[in-house]
Amino acid sequence: MTPSVSIIIPVLNEAATVAACLQTLQSLSTSDATVTLEIIVVDGGSSDATVELATPLADQLIVAGQGRAGQMNTGAKASSGEYVLFLHADTRLPDDILAVIASWQNAELPLWGFFSVQLSGSARPLRIVETMMNWRSRLMGIGTGDQCLFVNRQLFNSIGGFADMPLMEDIEICQRLKRMNKPRVEIHPVVTSSRKWEREGICKTIVLMWRLRLAYFFGAKPEELARKYYSS
Task: Give the domain CATH number at 25.
Answer: 3.90.550.60
Predicted confidence at residue 232, as pLDDT, reads: 61
Predicted confidence at residue 227, as pLDDT, reads: 82
Predicted confidence at residue 76, as pLDDT, reads: 97
Predicted confidence at residue 179, as pLDDT, reads: 95
Please list the rounded mean pLDDT of every run of 10 residues in the chain (232 residues): 90 96 88 83 97 97 93 97 97 94 87 96 92 94 96 96 94 96 96 89 84 83 80 67
Predicted confidence at residue 122, as pLDDT, reads: 92
**Domains identified in the chain, total number:** 1
Q: Which domain holds residue 129?
A: 4-231
- Sheet containing strand 184-192, edge to edge, reads 60-63, 36-43, 4-11, 83-86, 150-152, 112-119, 184-192, 91-92
Facing residues of 199 across strands? none
Which helix (H) or strand (E) element contains residue 229? helix 222-231
